[in-house]
Chain A
Amino acid sequence: MLSDKDLTRYDRQIKIEVFGKKGQENLKKAHIVIAGAGGLGSSVALYLTAAGAGHITIIDHENVELSNLNRQILHWEKDIGKSKVDSAVEKLTQLNSDIEILGIKEKITEENVLSLLKGADGVVDCLDNFKTRFILNDAILKLRIPFFHGACYEFEGRATTIIPGRTPCLRCIIPRSPPEKKVPIMGTTPGTIGTIQATEVIKFFSGIDPLLTGKLLVYDSRYFTYELIRIEKNPECPSCGGQ
């Protein structure tokens, strides 16, 4: 149920016919886990908080460093050395005090993933490595909840929306982890991709189609191209078996 304050606060999006009060109510009920409070996580968390996603959990085990500040816009100079989730929750609760925002300072592992995702209705992939992405991918398949993938490199970005049983999973298209390394990223790239992920979350929970399902968005801001590649389930996939 939306309050009078909600109706005023979200008025401009409630006026969108396909979204409306019903969309806002559904978004208010949703519990969304944002895995990673870095570049993608900053953008996703800010927009979902502003849009009125009712319950947000943000997970990250790192502290803020100076070299994060070109792209991780939730963290400021005063936050250097502070945990990213504390820094994020501080800003997000000031942006919207009417929603529930929880920060968890933990590394996501095979052992803790299911308890970290308990009660989640969807997970947003704002990570910087495939090892942890695959842990989350397997967990969302077990839990049968959507997974909103995003990734960046220099001026390039990728995004897709994974719905267990309906779409290919992350491992259907990316079978193995590349070596982990610090990658070059233009600060605006995760801003754009995170905004696309947040839009997908809003559309999913308010029932607006089409989504980036069965499609991989390949974005290149250097040459201003957005392209969609059709992706298919793989019967040989070790995570979903093409189911």
Chain B
Amino acid sequence: MVTVRLFAAFREAAGKKEVNISAKNIEELIRLLIARYKKLAPLLIKNTDPLELEDIIVLVNGRSIWYLKGVETKLKEEDVVSIFPLIGGG
């Protein structure tokens, strides 16, 4: 199972800090996540088909998916996926 760590507003929407999900890639993981926690959907995605993510940060073991394969980034059982809002105010 992949460990998904949710932060800030995403944690509030899911009512969970950490979730374990079995998924082969980020797309499958996000789809399972929003099916399980419906309030996450508007926060995480812009479009369902094709899947387009909001301006959020998704790290697989500390590395941004945008430098891996985006939503097609493959996942292994022991991976830790951190998902949190991108914020920039000062």
Contacts and interface: CB of A to CB of B under 8 A. Distances in A.
Contact of B88 (A41, A178, A229, A234): A178
Interface in B31-90: 55, 57, 59, 61-64, 66-67, 82, 84-90
Given A173-B57, A229-B84, 9 more contacts: A39-B89, A127-B88, A130-B88, A151-B89, A178-B86, A190-B90, A218-B7, A218-B84, A223-B11
Interface residues of B, number: 23
Contacts, number: 85
Interface string A126-147: 1111100100000000000000
Q: What does DSSP make chain B's interface, helix, strand, loop or mixed?
A: mixed
B8 A156 contact: yes
Contacts of B82: 229
Interface of B: 5, 7-9, 11-12, 55, 57, 59, 61-64, 66-67, 82, 84-90
A125 B86 CA distance: 16
Interface of A: 36, 38-41, 125-130, 133, 150-153, 156-158, 172-176, 178-179, 183, 185, 190, 218, 220, 223, 227, 229-232, 234-237
Nearest to A229: B82
